[in-house]
Every structure is written in C-alpha cells, then in structure tokens.
Homo-oligomer: A and B are copies of this chain.
C-alpha cells in the first residue's frame, strides 16, 4: 500500500524528478512530449503529490485553519460555507477543527493548526480569552468571527448587536408593544452586548427595559418563562438571545396556555433554519453569516499577501426577518 512518489513517476516516464515537479505545477517551460509522458505515467501509477513534502519544501501551505466553537450550531455552519467559498476562490485550502464548546479543546485546536503550519487562523465563535487570542495572533494572523468586537490586537468580523437588538425592539414597538422582556444569553460571549443593545433601544423608545437571565440553549427558556408566569409578569413580547432559546420560549408559552403571537410575540436571533421552519415561523434578527465568512478570508488575505499590520474591525449590519411569531398585542400591555 506504499504510494508512488515523484521518483517512481520519473523513472516510469524516463525523465528526472525535477521535470516531474515542473509538470505537476504546470510550468510552461516543459516540452509537450515530456509533459504527456509524465502525466501518463502519473495517471497509470495513481500518483498523488505528498502535501507534507510540498509544504516543507515550499515553506508555505496555502491553508487556513478554522476552529468552530460548536459543530452542532447551524449558525456556524453557514459562516464556514462562506469561508470555504472565499478560500477556494483564492487557491487556499481550509482545515476545520471542532472546538466543542470547550476552551481547553479549542486551545489544543489552535496548537494543532499551528503545527500544521496554517497561514492564518479563523476562529468562529471562540471561547478563548483575550490573552490567548493575542498570543495566537503573534504566531499567525488571526481573525475572530461573531464573538463581539472588543478584542485588542486581533482582527474581528462581527454583526452589530446594538443594531440587531434595536431592529427587534423597533419592530415590536411599531406593532404597538410597550411591555417587552429580553431573555439574555447567560454565559454566552455575546450576551452582554446584545442585552445592552436591547436596553438602549428600549430607552430610546421611552420604555423601561426588563432583562431576565436565561442562556443560549432551548432548555434555558423554561426557568425564565416560568418565573415570568409565576410572578404574573408575562410581557406582551419576548426578545430571546437566539433562535434556540426562542424555540424553547415558544414551547413553554404553549404549555402555559399562551398563544403566539396572540398573547405573546416572540423574536429570535440568528435566523437559522430553525426560525425558518414554517412550523416555528419565528421572527428573527439575521446576521449575514456567509458574508462574515467571506470577509474573514479577505481580512486574512490582506495580512498574508499585502502584509497589512493594522488591525481590522468589521462590524456588519444585521437585518430583521419578520415571520408569524410577532403581531400586535391583544390588549394594552396587561396580560390577560
């Protein structure tokens, strides 16, 4: 099962190894006769170049290292698609490692990527702290995607949480809601900025912001909503940290005998395919995920090829996808 090498091909084609190398990298300065001879030999042997040897000799890998915080989250999958498309276009390969929501594992993933000599790191939804990020960025250009804008030293691609939250609030206010609660993301890295954006938008509308701690999973909805019900403080609208949490909210409200959107309107965040499922039909803030992936690549390319050194911080504008989970409040702000 030992694979053929350039020498094998060279011998079979009756040429030197260097010639084979030239053919493989389709150099113009090689005669047609030899070229076809080499290609034939290679095909016959099923020759595939050894990337390790090439990287070593070339002193570059044309490879990006991606780390996704959670392979299960559909939000990240779309970012990765954007990265892959853009990388491909520029002749770069992409290595994906799964952070598994675990900082320790993510740390090891960074190390693995660096050992593979990737030319840049793209961290999607990272759990690493600023020190670690800064350290990594000293070894290879590093960009973080979708993890809040405030990380000194590294490049960042984000979608503005303040604007996103305002989009949700304004939509609800326009429908006539005045009693709106935000269920926050708990420990999630984006929890704070999103909640801050909510508070700000509410105040701008002359309303008092109410924030209840929740989390970033479906299961985190229950405690929060139950608390609201028990305190008889159910609002006419709920703005959830993300789609998954919103899905949980939908469910708990239903069990409590409250109808969406008749009794309570619900807004999610991310606009993943969960929101898009017609059965959920969730109004949600949309982050331009693919675009974010593409920009991450572009940002890294600027570092590698045009050796930019000044940090980039791109903050994109989210949009709102309006669906069936929001409507005008039934009464004038009191729960039934």
A interface, CB within 8 angstroms of B: 1, 3, 46, 48-53, 55-56, 61, 71-72, 74, 77-78, 80-81, 84, 93, 95-98, 100, 111-112, 114-117, 139-140, 218, 247-248, 250-251, 254-255, 273-274, 277-280
> Measured between alpha carbons, how far is A248 from B278 in the docked complex, in Å?
7
A274: chain B residues within 8 A (beta carbon): 274, 277
- Interface contacts beyond A48-B115, A81-B98: sample of 15 additional A-B pairs, CB < 8 Å, sorted by A: A1-B140, A48-B111, A52-B52, A52-B56, A52-B61, A71-B71, A72-B273, A81-B100, A84-B98, A96-B97, A96-B98, A251-B279, A255-B278, A279-B279, A279-B280
A248: chain B residues within 8 A (beta carbon): 278
> Measured between alpha carbons, how far is A61 from B52 in the docked complex, in Å?
10
A98: chain B residues within 8 A (beta carbon): 80-81, 84, 96
> Measured between alpha carbons, how far is A74 from B72 in the docked complex, in Å?
6
A114: chain B residues within 8 A (beta carbon): 48
Closest 4 CB pairs of A and B: A251-B278, A52-B52, A51-B115, A52-B55
Contact B93 A112 (CB under 8 A): yes
